[in-house]
């Protein structure tokens, strides 16, 4: 395992723990009526899916730049598709707290994607 991959895995796990603590505070004290038991599992899914997609991009980054860009575009499209499917399935079957779920899904997407882009950018500079 490369040092970049280890650093990302450690960072994304730390980020996930911090997000879980923040979720516990927000849903425990402020938005009790918005919480759904699926939310922690969605957080874990984002963590695992981010690890998987970063692994694929890190592997492609050792090849030529055009190949890396191609892999990055495919992974971004795949990621958006998977998250849209998750949103559609949640809305179709669970139907509880849809606005909270959509906002949470969007926030998770922004946080994890921003962290991944930051990590890739930082790695590219060094």
| pLDDT tens sequence across 4-30 | 889 999 999 999 999 999 999 999 998
pTM of the entire predicted model:
0.85
34 secondary structure, DSSP code: G
CA-based end-to-end distance of the chain: 18
Q: Which residue is associated with the tokens 């959509």? A: 102
Length of the chain as a residue count: 126
CA 49 from centre of chain: 6
pLDDT of residue 12: 96
Taken in order 29, 33, 34, 35, the sign of the CA dihedral is positive
pLDDT of residue 61: 80
pLDDT digits (tens, 9 = 90+) for 83-116: 999 999 999 998 888 999 999 999 999 999 999 8
């Amino acid at each position: 395992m490369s040092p970049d991959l280890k650093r990302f895995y450690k960072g994304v796990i730390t980020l996930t723990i911090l997000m879980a603590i923040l979720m516990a505070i927000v849903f425990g004290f402020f938005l009790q009526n918005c919480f759904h038991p699926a939310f922690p599992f969605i957080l874990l899914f984002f963590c695992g899916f981010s690890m998987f997609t970063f692994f694929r991009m890190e592997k492609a980054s050792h090849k030529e730049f055009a190949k890396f860009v191609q892999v990055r575009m495919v992974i971004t499209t795949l990621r958006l598709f998977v998250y849209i499917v998750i949103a559609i399935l949640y809305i179709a079957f669970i139907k509880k707290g849809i606005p909270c779920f959509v906002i949470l899904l969007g926030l998770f997407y922004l946080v994890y994607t921003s962290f991944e882009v930051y990590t890739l950018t930082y790695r590219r500079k060094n």
